[in-house]
């Protein structure tokens, strides 16, 4: 496989429809061998960007490349190693899952036919491969869509809202499937509005709002990086709160259903605060049952920096 550090690069990528800016000067770098989330609310321009990368719509301005190949000049060569689902996967309902894949494989290199059985097994559809797609649930159609992507033995998978229609068990299976692709050295781009699943599944992400990338980086960086709070469970929450409140690293202490929630000062080290507070609690004769260092969630960070709360324009 290609060893370039980025599988997707865009610079100043812009798309206007009837004078309205849908994708606004996007500079994007997606690292090779990662699960990357393109995260934003519905209507933020996520699908339009994907459609430009795949040649389904032309950009108004800017440049882009896939797998180190400039687009549109080398699009055919790049897309030969890309598997993609845009919007809801569409198949012929009167045909079986296997027949649909046979038809799609015919448009690819001869080796694609030999990948059909493996692709069906990989997504857990071997037992339903010969049923008509009209009998498939939405989750099964999503899995068949991923199987269709695997026919190309792709270096890069681009999946647009792939978790739609999945129940919690299906989401867990999907998450494990994505991680297995990354373990093989593939790159997976997930466009989604499901913050929790992006946080659980991806290594890095870009947050997009109103067509603009407002932040991108690792999930830890996007969530705020350093931990800012502690949660304690003790035999005496009231006394523990008083003890924690006098620690110089602490900004505020509150109760929540018996737990002691400790907000730290910006300059504080969470590890140091955890050590000093736990020691003080135990020395005071209070039993410490649990102490957890809490990091900000991606959802909290997303709400802080997108215009849904009027913070980012």
Judge whether 244 lies within some domain: yes
Residue with the two structure tokens 């004078």: 19
For 1, 90, 191, 194, the CA distances from 85, given in Å and listed in that order, are 22, 9, 10, 17
Burial 157-178 (b: 16+ CB within 10 A, else e): bbbbbbbeebeeebbebbbebb
CB of 186 closer than 8 Å to CB of 192: no
Q: Are residues 233 and 205 in the same domain?
A: no
Q: Which of 161, 193, 222 is the last residue of a domain?
A: 222
Q: Which of 201, 222, 243 is the last residue of a domain?
A: 222
Judge whether 312 lies within some domain: no
Judge whether 308 lies within some domain: no
Long-range contacts of 259-268 (CB under 8 A, 24+ apart): 259/231, 259/232, 259/233, 260/231, 260/232, 260/233, 260/234, 261/229, 261/230, 261/231, 262/229, 262/230, 262/231, 262/232, 263/228, 263/229, 264/227, 264/228, 264/229, 264/230, 266/228
pLDDT attached to residue 313: 33
Residue 194 CB contacts under 8 Å (≥ 6 apart), including other chains: 163
Q: Are residues 147 and 269 in the same domain?
A: no
Judge whether 237 lies within some domain: yes
pLDDT attached to residue 131: 97
Burial class (CB in 10 A: 0-12, 13-18, 19+), 42: exposed
Q: Are residues 78 and 109 in the same domain?
A: yes
Report the length, in residues, of the chain.
313
What is the count of structural domains for the chain? 2
Judge whether 94 lies within some domain: yes
Q: Are residues 246 and 201 in the same domain?
A: no
pLDDT attached to residue 227: 60
Which domain does 278 fall in, by range? 229-294
Q: Are residues 260 and 195 in the same domain?
A: no
Judge whether 1 lies within some domain: no
Q: Which of 177, 192, 222 is the last residue of a domain?
A: 222
> What CATH number does the domain containing 236 carry?
3.30.70.100
> What CATH number does the domain containing 188 carry?
3.40.50.300
Judge whether 310 lies within some domain: no
Q: Are residues 68 and 213 in the same domain?
A: yes
Judge whether 176 lies within some domain: yes
Per-10-residue mean pLDDT of the chain, 313 residues long, equals 73 93 94 92 88 94 95 92 87 96 92 95 94 92 92 94 80 89 95 84 90 86 70 93 93 86 84 93 94 73 57 37
């Amino acid at each position: 496989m290609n060893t370039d550090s980025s599988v997707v690069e865009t610079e100043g990528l812009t798309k206007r429809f009837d004078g309205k800016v849908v994708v606004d000067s996007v500079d994007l770098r997606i690292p090779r061998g990662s699960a990357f989330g393109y995260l934003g609310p519905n209507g933020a321009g996520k699908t339009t960007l994907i459609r430009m990368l795949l040649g389904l719509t032309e950009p108004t301005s800017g440049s882009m490349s896939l797998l180190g190949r400039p687009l549109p000049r080398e699009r055919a060569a790049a897309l030969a190693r890309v598997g993609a689902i845009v919007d809801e996967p569409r198949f012929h309902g009167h045909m079986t899952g296997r027949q649909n894949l046979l038809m799609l494989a015919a448009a690819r290199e001869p080796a694609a036919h030999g990948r059909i059985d493996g692709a069906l097994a990989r997504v857990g559809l071997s037992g339903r491969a010969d049923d008509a797609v009209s009998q498939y649930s939405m989750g099964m159609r999503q899995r068949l869509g991923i199987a269709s992507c695997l026919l190309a033995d792709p270096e890069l998978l681009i999946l647009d809202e792939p978790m739609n229609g999945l129940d919690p068990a299906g989401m867990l299976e999907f998450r494990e499937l994505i991680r297995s692709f990354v373990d093989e050295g593939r790159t997976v781009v997930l466009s989604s509005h499901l913050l929790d699943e992006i946080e659980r599944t991806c290594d890095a992400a870009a947050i997009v709002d109103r067509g603009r990338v407002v932040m991108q980086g690792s999930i830890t960086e996007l969530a705020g990086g350093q931990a800012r709070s502690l949660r304690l469970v003790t035999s005496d929450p009231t006394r523990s709160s008083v003890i924690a409140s006098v620690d110089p690293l602490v900004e505020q202490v509150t109760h929540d259903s018996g737990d002691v929630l400790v907000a730290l000062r910006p300059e504080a080290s969470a590890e140091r605060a955890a050590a000093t507070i736990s020691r003080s609690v135990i020395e005071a004769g209070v039993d410490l049952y649990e102490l957890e260092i809490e990091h900000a969630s991606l959802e909290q960070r997303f709400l802080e920096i997108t215009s849904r709360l009027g913070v980012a324009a």
